[in-house]
Structure 1
Amino acid sequence: MTKPVTRRHLVVAVAVPLVLAAFGGCAATGGTVVSAEDDQASLLTRAKAYWALIQKNDRVSAWAYEELSKDPNATLEAYLKRGGIAFDGVEVRGVRSIDGDRAMVNVWMRYSLPLLRVKNQEAVAEDEWRRIDGAWHHVQRRSVMFPTAQ
């Protein structure tokens, strides 16, 4: 016997891919030779610090880790308006890849969407990072539904 599809199941089925798409690196070393191990260690340090701030809901401090913070057209106020996700647990599980100026980090997360009354969801996301001026910055992916939104 099949279960009827409820609104909650539909919301979860739609929200999970959107959450994963919302999360997602640039390797300009300025002439300095950096070993692959040092590069990965630097990225992991930044990713862990960033996700610790996000989990604590300290988005003001997390702003400095965002690629958007380097964009003169982006504002902290606009960044703070994005949200609606509460992270109950986050674990940076390692560097998936580093390719020149971009990198992907595997991040496990347990999250809730309070406005949708969805709780205790788990996902492993490929989190994108970009190196700018020698430091790794988190890349905010564009909305899947609104690709031109900042």
Structure 2
Amino acid sequence: MKKNAFERRRVLGLMAAPLAISLAAMLSGCAGGPSPARDREALLLRAKEFWKSVQDNDPVTSWKYEELSKKPGWTLQAYLKREGIVYDAVEVQDVLSLEGDKALVNVKVTFSVPLLRMNSQQVVLKDEWVRIDGVWYHADRKSLL
């Protein structure tokens, strides 16, 4: 009788070890998965990189952050023709809202439009972003300002 009890404990012990390892792996996978804080961090990083390239007048780099770069029918050449605003200063402030794959980021911008002789205009934009395949992109917009 003691032999059967010993065998049962041994079998249960052998079964429990892989279950414990699987459970630990699942829990650690959850800890490394998406979270609101990580989403915000990733979004702010992308927004800062995008706006730095815009301020540096580097549209080839900023194109990589644009939702338009993922849309059929849009090309880098067409994107380059949309310019006309000079960004004198840009400060990505914070994430205003983040719901699913859409977000708004507050961005303080000082800009000029030389063609219209508008200089040093200042505005805080509610800048739209969308997540595509897990990556944040600057949302397609009709007019930024």
| TM-score normalised according to structure 1 size | 0.73
Alpha-carbon displacement from aligned partner over 1:38-95 (angstroms, at most 9, x marks no partner) = 0000000000000000000000111000000001211111111001100000000000
The aligned residue for residue 23 of structure 2 is none
1:105 aligns with 2:105: yes
The aligned residue for residue 37 of structure 1 is 37
Structure 1 unaligned regions, length at least 5: 1-30, 145-150
Distance 1:118 1:129 in 2: 27
Q: How many residues align?
A: 114
Question: Higher Cα Rg: structure 1 or 2?
Answer: 2
Distance 1:51 1:108 in 2: 10
Structure 2 unaligned regions, length at least 5: 1-29
Alpha-carbon displacement from aligned partner over 1:86-113 (angstroms, at most 9, x marks no partner) = 0000000000000111000000000000
The aligned residue for residue 139 of structure 1 is 139
The aligned residue for residue 116 of structure 1 is 116
Distance 2:34 2:43 in 1: 12
Residue 57 of structure 1 aligns with an amino acid whose one-letter code is N
Residue 115 of structure 1 aligns with an amino acid whose one-letter code is L
Match of 2:37, SS state, is helix
Alpha-carbon displacement from aligned partner over 1:15-45 (angstroms, at most 9, x marks no partner) = xxxxxxxxxxxxxxxx983111100000000
Residue 94 of structure 2 aligns with an amino acid whose one-letter code is G
Residue 97 of structure 1 aligns with an amino acid whose one-letter code is S
Distance 1:33 1:73 in 2: 34
Residue 120 of structure 1 aligns with an amino acid whose one-letter code is S
RMSD: 1.7
The aligned residue for residue 83 of structure 2 is 83
